[in-house]
Amino acid sequence: MTQTFIDPAQLSQVSDLELLARTVVEGFMTGIHRSPHTGASIEFAQYRPYTQGDDLRFLDWKLFARTDRLHLKQFQEETNLRCTLLLDCSASMQYGSGAMSKWAYARLLCASLAMILKSQGDSIGFMAYHHELATHIPATTDQRNFRRILVELAGLEPNQKTDTPRVLRFLGDVLRPRGMVILISDLIYPLEEVIDHLKSLRARRHDVLVIQISDPTEQTFTFDGAVTLVDAEEGEERFVVPDAVREAYLENRRNHFDTIRRECLTAEIDLAEFTADQPLDFALRHFINHRNRALKTSGLRQSGRA
Amino acid sequence: MLSFLAPFFLAGAALIGLPWLIHHIRKPEREPIIFSSLMFLPNVKKEVIERRKLQHILLMLLRMLLLVLMALAFSRPYFKERRSYVQESAAPGRHLILLDLSYSMGMSNRFEQAGRTVRDILGEIPADIPVGLVGFSDSPVLLAPMEGVPSQTRARVKSELEKAVPGQGGTRYQAALQYAENLLLEGRDAEETTPAVLHLISDFSRGGMPEGNPDWRLSGRILFRGYRIDGRPIRNLSLMEIGRKDREDRLEIAGKVKNWSETEESAVVRLLLGEELLEEKEVTVAPGGASQVRFDIPRPAGNAREGRLMLVGDDFELDNLRYFVWRAPRKKTILLLTDKDKRRWPADWFVERVLTAGNQVPWRVIRVDRNNLAASLARRPDVVAAVGLKTLEATHAAALSRYVEGGGRVLMSLGDGPSPNVLSRDLLAGLGLNDLGPAFPETNPANNQLLGWIDFDHPTFLVFRGARFNDFSGLRFYNYHRIQATAETDEDISFLARFDGREDPAMVEVRRGEGRWLIWAFNPVLDWTNLPKHPKFVPLLHETVKYLGRFRQEEREYLVGGRYDAREAEGSQRLRLPDGRVHEVAADASIPLERAGIVLAGAQDRADEWQALDAVNIPGGESDPETIQIDEFALRLTANGGVAQGAAHGEVERYSGDVEKRNEMGFIFVILLALFVATEIFYAARLSIRKPADAPNTPQPADRRSNDS
């Protein structure tokens, strides 16, 4: 079976963000993910031995009567997923050498993810940031939240410098624990602090998915002849001969992202990398796979503790 | 003090903005690209970038300087240097007035102005100083010498001035100045500091200046003063050239009419043959332009006629006449001397057919038996073609030698006779050539020699120059005679072509005064060579005959101011020149020409019979109104240079070169220009090949850390 993907170049010609998101999300909508957390609900999940301090409301008294052992009943939590979409709208996201800039790609991806989550009835939160928080919509199950997110997305323009650690610190303060955080960014900023704060987010038992967006030219550094490049965020100008600096540039870039990849792996943070010329389906599929994998590992972990 | 001979070139310095403009125009092409981040780029030190910016600015400044230098070099700068030994107050020893008598001084009222100027000069010179007068055009003529009592010299000058009229000659300033210098410095002590003064009164026609920068300069001991005579502007057209072309029974005559005026002018051009007006045409010429007027008339009867083209309707008549002499074209004679040859197609068969091919050939071919050779040579044929000869009898060889010694021309090809024989021993040896006999014992196609070298500068091969015609590789020679020059160097022998391999000569030319031997070392028959059936055979033979028969000799053209070569009066004893002088040919071979007209030739015993021989015309360039600045004139022809002294004096510009010396220094700027160009090329190349990033390839992420993180 051949699968057809929607070309970002074609998508870039459509201005209606909701229409775009609906087009992209179609086919990913229903019954493909579940909440990874167990809690009070009607759907039984498993038993686990009672330990001191457990809520006595969940003790299975009938089982105690039959076996003289204390066990707790665990149920699959049916409350909606609490997911916060975190979008980098710093000036570096504006760059694009092809039909779609990184910003256009990220914005559309964000809208598509929001639509998927909305269709599941999950709580959707949204935050956009550059050097400070640009927009914050707390996660609720209110269906109008999706519309608010789209309105915010449509009004945002990438500018200013990035300060991801600062935003992540803020996020750690305001987010309720054990939710899902999806960070969409080009991850072009110094390593150490970002990784530290991603780790701290993870430590608060959030499931963190980082989607890194690149432009094809950033990956190859191909320019026609000598050019003067201006740093989108710093404003620094530099005259470069691409052939002369390409090797060093690519090596520095590779080192940077290798480090991020390694640290994310260590911290059990899922990192996915996409370029702005790839179909959005890839990113959505990765999101779905990530969720399925998280459900399984989460279930095993729960049962392991049981 | 720095001055300029051509200051208008300084306007070129305005191009100084060009490099800046180019940098500016090119800027949009290098519009900065806003890139997501430069944090992965290798760190380039700030000073490196600034240095590169500075280098580019330096390069732009260098290019600006180049343009300024170019403008300076073209504007011909010079330094004026004050000379201390020449004192304004010094009483000059003697004065000589050099008066331009070329025909351009006859335009408008120039000569009246010149006369007034001479009288003004006489009035300014102290009464106790002698004055002389020299007139000049092509050559100088002393009209009033400086020797004698000063008052008498003045009287002589005034008297000669009354008689002087502009002639028909052109202008030659250098000859006149040299003559004047000799007169002024004659008998003077080299230590004498009192300068002699030379007053030059002229229209300063540029055509009178020598070509390039002459080595000769007027002595620094002579004070030079120039007076430019401009005169009123006039409408002037002139007949510059005349050309004739014979076409069977028609004669075409064309004249070039040049308009020297600043407005479009019309005039009538008349063609006269003798005194008979044949035709007239009106011509309109744009300002500064030229037009050709053609007349097509029936060929005149008789052997020679003189005629002239005459232009009517402008303000200056002297340059409106052009004389010509038409002579009936004579068919030249080629004597074809053959040897007995039993071949079906012997050499003379080919040669005769090639030479007689077509009706338009300007010669006639006469076959002659060698028994009648002496009698035929006595009639002075233009060319003798002796082809395919095996040998010659001694008497015939001697007759041919005498014919060539007397200016005759012989084309000889060597046949398959035994060697040595009379031909090789007596004739060729006498020409400085050694015939070693045939190169191969048998003549057969297997030998197959090519031409390895051809002298394409020789008139015979001139038409074959160029890639389209110079391919002789298709020519094959199955045998030939090996010829050597007996002397290693003989200026009278030249080789036109050589065979490949041993480089034996294929064609040799031997000069004997005006006479020529042109020897082909092969027999033009099919068993010796494929030349007779090769496409180049016809043009080669025709060109050879044209060269030997002097068909290309240029028509003689004589100008006033030149000299007439009396040897051209073939068989005549007397010449009558355009100015009416009758000249005995035997008396002098070279006669100066002073007036335009017709040179007539006559026999000694028939005093009243004259035949038109040659035309003498005035030099056409003298009508050119372009003049030279006196500054430049003084710089090029005087050692002291000079400086203009004040404003115009009536219509006469006065000029004196007595106090300052000029050192032209344009060459310094040219040298500087060359140096700067070399520097620019080197510098620009160095900048273009240099990598912009030469710092370590380590990223500097810490530099980008947020301050408030």
Residue A67's beta-bridge partner residues? none
The rounded distance, in Å, linking the Cα atoms of B412 and B394 is 16
Tell me, yes or no, whether A180 and A284 share the same domain: yes
Q: Is residue A236 part of a domain?
A: yes
Q: Over chain B, what is the mean pLDDT?
A: 80
List, for residues A113-142, the tens digit of each pLDDT value: 888 888 777 788 998 888 878 888 988 877
A94: chain B residues, CB-CB within 8 Å: 34, 36
CA distance from start to end of chain A: 42
Q: Are A103 and A93 in contact (CB under 8 A)?
A: yes
Which parts of chain B have pLDDT scores under 70? 1, 23-30, 44-50, 80-92, 189-195, 358-359, 418-422, 424-425, 552-556, 567-572, 586-589, 604-607, 640-664, 687-709
- Sequence-separated (6 or more) residues with CB below 8 Å from residue B347: B338, B341, B387, B388, B413, B415, B523, B524, B525
Q: B36–A193: do the CB atoms touch at under 8 Å? A: no
Tell me, yes or no, whether A188 and A276 share the same domain: yes
Q: Is residue A214 part of a domain?
A: yes
Residue B702's closest chain A neighbor by CA? A190
Q: Where in chain B are the domains?
A: 2-80+666-703, 95-230+629-658, 237-329, 332-548, 558-616
Asked if the B95-230+629-658 domain carries CATH number 3.90.1310.10, the reply is: no
A253: chain B residues, CB-CB within 8 Å: 40
B489 touches chain A (CB under 8 A): no
Q: Is residue A197 part of a domain?
A: yes
pLDDT of residue B134: 93
Which percentage of chain B shows pLDDT scores above 90? 16
pLDDT of residue A280: 79
pLDDT of residue B655: 60
List, for residues B673-685, the tens digit of each pLDDT value: 888 888 888 877 7
Residue B251's beta-bridge partner residues? B246, B297
Q: Which among B38, B704, B705 has the least Cβ separation from residue A238?
A: B38
Give A209→chain B minimum CA distance, Å. 23
Tell me, yes or no, whether A122 and A100 share the same domain: yes
In terms of pLDDT, which residue wins out, A298 or A70?
A: A70
Tell me, yes or no, whether A185 and A44 share the same domain: no
Q: A252–B699: do the CB atoms touch at under 8 Å? A: yes
Domains B95-230+629-658 and B332-548 share a fold: yes
| Residue numbers of the domain that contains A121 | 80-291
Q: Are B424 and B440 in contact (CB under 8 A)?
A: no
- Among A76, A102, A132, the domain boundary falls at A76
In terms of pLDDT, which residue wins out, A68 or B233?
A: A68
Tell me, yes or no, whether A42 and A119 share the same domain: no
For domain B237-329, give the CATH number. Answer: 2.60.40.10
Q: Which among B38, B699, B704 has the least Cβ separation from residue A229?
A: B38
Tell me, yes or no, whether A98 and A246 share the same domain: yes
Q: Mutate one of A245, A256, A259 to test the B interface: name it (highest B CB count within 10 A).
A: A245
Residue A206 tokens read as 């959030």
Q: Mutate one of B34, B36, B46 to test the A interface: name it (highest A CB count within 10 A).
A: B36
Tell me, yes or no, whether A153 and A52 share the same domain: no
Tell me, yes or no, whether A171 and A58 share the same domain: no
What is the mean predicted confidence (pLDDT) over A35-45?
A: 51
pLDDT of residue A32: 44
Tell me, yes or no, whether A162 and A53 share the same domain: no
Q: Is residue A265 part of a domain?
A: yes
Tell me, yes or no, whether A191 and A262 share the same domain: yes
Give B51→chain A minimum CA distance, Å. 12
pLDDT of residue B407: 86
Q: Is residue A13 part of a domain?
A: no
Q: Is residue A280 part of a domain?
A: yes
Q: Is residue A20 part of a domain?
A: no
- Sequence-separated (6 or more) residues with CB below 8 Å from residue A198: A168, A183, A208, A210, A263, A264, A267, A269
B42 touches chain A (CB under 8 A): yes
A239: chain B residues, CB-CB within 8 Å: 49, 52, 692
Q: Is residue A112 part of a domain?
A: yes
A229: chain B residues, CB-CB within 8 Å: 32-35, 38, 41
pLDDT of residue B424: 66
3-state secondary structure of A177: coil
ipTM of the complex: 0.75
Residue B423 tokens read as 């031909």
- Among A27, A57, A76, the domain boundary falls at A76
Q: Mutate one of B30, B31, B40 to test the A interface: name it (highest A CB count within 10 A).
A: B40
Q: Which among B35, B44, B698 has the least Cβ separation from residue A230?
A: B35
Domains of chain A: total: 2
Asked if the B332-548 domain carries CATH number 3.40.190.10, the reply is: no
Tell me, yes or no, whether A58 and A99 share the same domain: no
Burial class (CB in 10 A: 0-12, 13-18, 19+), B252: middle
Tell me, yes or no, whether A70 and A172 share the same domain: no
